[in-house]
Every structure is written in C-alpha cells, then in structure tokens.
Structure 1
Amino acid sequence: MTKILIIEDDNVMGQMLYLYFSGEGFIVHRVETAEAGSLALTEFEPDVILLDLILPDSDGTEFCAKLRTLTDVPILVVSMKNSVNERINALQSGADDFLCKPFSMQELKARIIAILRRMESQGLGISSLTSESSVSDKIIFDYDRRLLIVNGTEIETTYSEWELMKLFSSSPGKVFEREELINAIRGIDSFVNDRAIDVHIMNLRKKIEDNPRQPNFIKTVWGIGYKFVLAQ
C-alpha cells in the first residue's frame, strides 16, 4: 500500500488530509515539524510527501531543498502561499508539484495517483534496460540508483527531472512541445502549467550544463518547447 507522509502543522488541515487519505486506502503518517519530518523519512519510509511551506521550526522552501537531498520520492507542496514566486521557489528547491490552499481533495489525490503511475511505469521499464546506459560520451544514466553521471560526476535528480531526461534521451534532436513534457511528468489527467516545465528545465541545465545560460544539451525551441542534442 502507498505510504503518504504529511508534514503539516495546522491541525484542521492536517486532520482533514489524514482522514481523507486514510479513508482512501493509503497508509498515512502526519507530523507537524520539519524535524519530525526528517526523522519520518527513515522511520516511515514514505512513497509520497505532502509538505506545507509554513512550519514552526523551519522555512518551508529551505526544508524542501533539504528533503530533496535526503530522498528522491515525489514532494508535493500544499500551501497558502500562492504567488508565482513562491511556486517557482518551491520547484527550484526540489518540489515536484505545488497546490494552493484551499484545494480539492479529489484533485490532490489525482495528482498523487498520476505521479505514482509514472513511477510504476518507470519501474516496469527498468527491467528491460541495463543498469547503466550512455546517452553520449558525457552523460550516463544509472537506472539502479536513478541518477545521472555527467562528465564522471554523479548528479542527483528529482522525479520530474529524471522523467524529463528519460524522455529527451529517448529521441535526441526531437522537438518536444511543452504538453508532451507535462504529460511525461504528471500524466494526461493532472494539471501543471508551462512555467513549471520551464523551472524544471532550468534546474536540469544547472545540473548538467557547463554554462546553463548557453546550454549545449537542452536547447530552447522558441514558441514550441525544448529539444535534447548530443553535444560534442
């Protein structure tokens, strides 16, 4: 059964999330602080994290970045902070999705199911692949550990970044429209806007490009989307 870790200090919202997802058949564990959330990673071993950005013992965005260094499970931010900058900061800190309060429980469940479906599909596909696969002489996919090796350096990726790189590497040179990239991350029944894709691409460039402002691998195709080229 899928395990959801809820990091939420608001008792009303925390209880609502706990009761809803417990009733939907998930195994749910709720904590109220960043410190307790860090401990729950190893003690509870969640499949998905729901993170509120307003916590009593930590800045939510900074804690999101810390979580990303500790785990590669999907992080979905649920927050009263609804400005564009807050969303961008959360995505840049490693979140895979952002949902503003108040929100529909059914929509949140749909997003969780969509991201888990993509992960299950990824797991089924790994068996037919070698543990490592070279995209070029500079980039290697380590499927066992779900990370990239760029110029000999191991690079950790978020779930969304990994899915994007898998899609890019499947068809080097192909121009992917933003809708295709969105579907690769969320599935066709879940919403995420173009700006979120742009942020994930920016984060990827910081990790794999020598100069993110003049990328060699992930190229922008203005008005359409992005393409991946095998840089020499």
Structure 2
Amino acid sequence: MYKVLMIEDDAMIGDMVTMYLKEEGFHIIRKENGMSGIAAIPQFQPDLILLDWVLPDMDGLAICRQVRENSSIPIMIVSMKNKIVERVNALGAGADDFMCKPFSMHELIARAHALIRRAKMYPSMNQLQATQSEPRDVNEVEVPKTAAVSAVMDKHDKITLNINTRSMSVYGEIVETTYSEFEIMKCFINNPGRVYSREDLLQTVRGFDSFVTDRAIDVHIANLRKKIEDNPKEPKWIRTVWGVGYKFVRM
C-alpha cells in the first residue's frame, strides 16, 4: 500500500482527495499546515507528497525546497495558480509535478501512480550513499564497474553517470538530480560539442516532466550548472549558444 502525505488546509479538497485515494488503495494522511506536514515526513515515510502552494504558515515552495535538501520523495504541487511562470517556479523548487485546482480525480490518481512508479524504479541518491557506506561482507564478490558511463572532463574525472542507478557523481560525490536533469546530462555527455536547441531537449525529457516548456528547460540547465560548474555564472562545461540552445564542452 502506497503512502501519501497531503499538506492542504482546505478541508473540502482534503476530504475529497482523501476519500478517492483511500478507495484506490492508498494510505493517506493530511496535515493542515507546513510545519506539521514537514514534521510528519520522518515517521510516516510517504511515497508521495501532495502539497498545496498557499498554506497558513508557510509557502509551499519553501516546503518543497526544504524537503529537497535531504529527500527525493516525489512532490506534486496542487494549486489554484496556473501561469506558466508559476509552474516553472515549482519545478525550480524541486517539484516533480503540478496540478491546477480544480482538477480531475482520475488524472490526479494516474499522476500519483506514475510519480511513485518512477521513484520506485530508481533508488534515491540518499539510498545509494547509505548502501555505499554499509560495511561489506568479507565474502561479498566485487562487481566490476563496467556499467558506468563516464565523462572525463578533466584529470579529476569530474562527472560520472551511472545508467543502472541513474546517479550522477561530481568529483566522486553523488549529487541529487531530477529525472529530467539526468536525461539532459546524458545527452550532453554522449554528444560533447553538439548544439541542442530547447526543442531538442524538450523531446529528450518529454514523458518525464508533466509540464515541460522552453522556460522549464532553462531552469533545468541552471540547476545542472549549479551542480557541476565551479562558477555557475561563468559556465565552462554547459555553454549557451545564443539564439539556438546549449552545448556541452570538454576542456
């Protein structure tokens, strides 16, 4: 049974969503403000967070950023806000999906299943780090590291992508990426020097993001630069090709 944490102060919406999700076999609890919602995460261990943007005590995006500091739990923003820039801001804060109120319960349930399925398919970076730090059995057989796809950007082997675990390491340290960020980085590393238009990158991530736009691609690029560049404001690896798009450069 999948567990859903709903952080929503509107009792009518909360009761309706709770009823439908329970009928679909979900275990759902609802918290009416941000502080109680955040406090419930460690004990409840939800598979999905449904998060209202406007709450009595906290901004939903602030909650999203706080959760993203140490967790990759899928987050779906549910809000009356419906402008593209607001959806992009939600993406930039770490949300995985966005639904505007009022919404179809059938669509909400379908998206919830999709988000949880993707999260279960690939282990989180925290899980990978915990696994790597566990003591090894003396009889454990070493598995050859041939499954990794590496990009040797300099003598320090700056970036490594592992396709099996969908993890990215920067200078040997695992770095959290969203599904779309990983797909974009995979394209860049497999085709250094190739110029990708925003439309090219949209086609790459379509099917991972539910609300991809040109502006969303720019947000993904900005987030990737923060994760791999020494100085994101003066990028050396992910370059902007003005009027066209972006390319990955090996120095």
TM score, norm. by length of structure 2: 0.73
CA–CA separation in structure 2 for the residues paired with 1:35 and 1:20: 25
- Residue ranges of structure 1 left out of the alignment (5+ in a row): none
The farther-off stretch of 91-100 and 191-200 is 191-200
One-letter amino acid of the counterpart of residue 210, structure 1: D
Q: Do 1:7 and 1:51's aligned partners in 2 also have CA atoms closer than 8 Å? A: yes
One-letter amino acid of the counterpart of residue 148, structure 1: M
1:134: which partner in 2? 150
1:207: which partner in 2? 227
Count of paired positions: 226
One-letter amino acid of the counterpart of residue 17, structure 2: L
CA–CA separation in structure 2 for the residues paired with 1:118 and 1:224: 31
The farther-off stretch of 3-12 and 171-180 is 171-180
2:53: which partner in 1? 53
2:218: which partner in 1? 198
Higher Rg: 2
Q: Do 1:164 and 1:185's aligned partners in 2 also have CA atoms closer than 8 Å? A: no
CA–CA separation in structure 2 for the residues paired with 1:51 and 1:214: 34
1:69: which partner in 2? 69
TM score, norm. by length of structure 1: 0.78
2:177: which partner in 1? 157
Q: Sort the Cα spacing of 1:129 and 1:107 in 2 relative to 1 into closer, same or farther, 3 A.
A: farther
- C-alpha displacement of 1:10: 0.8
1:178: which partner in 2? 201
- C-alpha displacement of 1:111: 2.5
- For 1:1-232, list aligned pairs within 5 A: 1-122=1-122, 134-136=150-152, 137-141=157-161, 148-166=168-186, 168-169=188-189, 172=192, 175=196, 177-183=200-206, 185-186=208-209, 190-220=210-240, 226-229=246-249, 231-232=250-251
Q: Do 2:169 and 2:175's aligned partners in 1 also have CA atoms closer than 8 Å? A: yes
CA–CA separation in structure 2 for the residues paired with 1:7 and 1:172: 42
Where 2:206 maps in the other structure, the secondary structure is: helix
- C-alpha displacement of 1:156: 2.9
Q: Do 1:167 and 1:184's aligned partners in 2 also have CA atoms closer than 8 Å? A: no
Q: CA RMSD in A?
A: 3.4
Q: Sort the Cα spacing of 1:61 and 1:25 in 2 relative to 1 into closer, same or farther, 3 A.
A: same
Q: Sort the Cα spacing of 1:84 and 1:184 in 2 relative to 1 into closer, same or farther, 3 A.
A: closer
One-letter amino acid of the counterpart of residue 224, structure 2: L
Where 1:95 maps in the other structure, the secondary structure is: coil
Q: Sort the Cα spacing of 1:39 and 1:104 in 2 relative to 1 into closer, same or farther, 3 A.
A: same
- C-alpha displacement of 1:23: 1.4
CA–CA separation in structure 2 for the residues paired with 1:119 and 1:166: 19
The farther-off stretch of 77-86 and 132-141 is 132-141
- Residue ranges of structure 2 left out of the alignment (5+ in a row): 129-142
- C-alpha displacement of 1:94: 1.3
Where 2:94 maps in the other structure, the secondary structure is: coil
Deviations 1:150-193 (A, max 9, x none): 2355533344434543555455556471343333524xxx5533
